[in-house]
Structure 1
Amino acid sequence: MSMIECTPAALQAAGERLGEAQPVYMVNLVRYRDEAAYEAGSTLPSCSGREAYFQRYAPAFNTVAQGEDYGLFWVGNVRGVLVGTDGEAWDDVVIVRYPNFAVLRRILESPAYASQAKPHRVAALADWKFIVTTQPEMPQ
């Protein structure tokens, strides 16, 4: 089942579990549409999902998040899934670091994100996994 939405309930639950004390690394597993699927009436020129993600969504996200402490940690092209669900396919892995989950929530829940960035993400992605991770203390 393809999913491209993060529900308010999921954000609330994660925020309650994580608090504000620790950095989070958001792991995005993304699969792009062949062609970005904007809503009817869009005046944007046609482009691929990958182009919509990196040339439209990422700059819009950066504009919306201006002044927040966050940073792109890593981007990698998926070249194969050695262990996974049959038929599972991802194009890229994108990891973004935030000082705490509250910063991410502020961005995602802002009206500016909803109007300026989210439409590009929705148009770009055919499927998405959005995973919150923290760095554990490793046993000695």
Structure 2
Amino acid sequence: MKTISPSQKSFAELISGKVDDEPIVMVNLLKFKDQADYTKLASSHPDHALTITGKEAYAIYGEAVTPMVEEVGGQILWQGNTRFTFIAPDEETWDEVVLVQYPSRAAFLKMVTSGAYQKIVHHRDLSLDDSRLIETQPTNIG
């Protein structure tokens, strides 16, 4: 099932879940639209007339969100294009993977609920055909 934004249930679980001071890494799996559809925005929105690809729209989001990530103490650890998917259902393909570290879930929540973030998240939403956002916590290997 294609998913772009969190469900109300997922967001409620994120907010009500354990919020501690442990660092987290958010794993972003991204599948871009061929064309971002900015016509879904109100005709009065300044971005309504943009005609760009999904990847270009996500780049706008990335440029705007990076300082917000850094402001809450986070950092983009890694970003790369996928080359080959070795283990996955045939229909599940991703264009890009991004790993973003935050000092805590609280820091992530502070960012995504901020007014500044709400003003730019439409670039992400309109750029993607499908996505996954998975919270992970560091563990020891072995």
CA displacement, residues 80-125 of structure 1 (integer Å, 9 cap, x when unaligned): 11111121110000000000011111111123212x2211001100
| Structure-2 separation of matches of 1:64 and 1:96 | 12
**What amino acid maps onto 1:27 in structure 2?**
V
RMSD: 2.0
| Structure-2 separation of matches of 1:66 and 1:26 | 14
**1:53 matched to 2:58:** yes
Relative to the length of structure 1, the TM-score reads 0.86
Q: Where does residue 4 of structure 1 map in the other structure?
A: 4
- Map of 1:86-97 to 2, 5 A cutoff? 86-97=90-101
Relative to the length of structure 2, the TM-score reads 0.85
Distance 1:5 1:63, change over 3 A: same
**What amino acid maps onto 2:132 in structure 1?**
K
Following superposition, the deviation at residue 15 of structure 1 comes to 4.9
Distance 1:65 1:93, change over 3 A: closer
| Structure-2 separation of matches of 1:135 and 1:15 | 20
Given that 1:11 and 1:105 are in contact with CA atoms closer than 8 Å, whether structure 2 keeps it comes out as no
The SS at the match of 1:112 is helix
**1:80 matched to 2:84:** yes
Structure 2, unpaired ranges of 5+? none
Following superposition, the deviation at residue 13 of structure 1 comes to 2.1
- Map of 1:110-121 to 2, 5 A cutoff? 110-114=114-118, 116-121=119-124
Following superposition, the deviation at residue 18 of structure 1 comes to 4.2
The SS at the match of 1:28 is strand
**What amino acid maps onto 1:125 in structure 2?**
L
Identity level (%): 28
Given that 2:28 and 2:132 are in contact with CA atoms closer than 8 Å, whether structure 1 keeps it comes out as yes
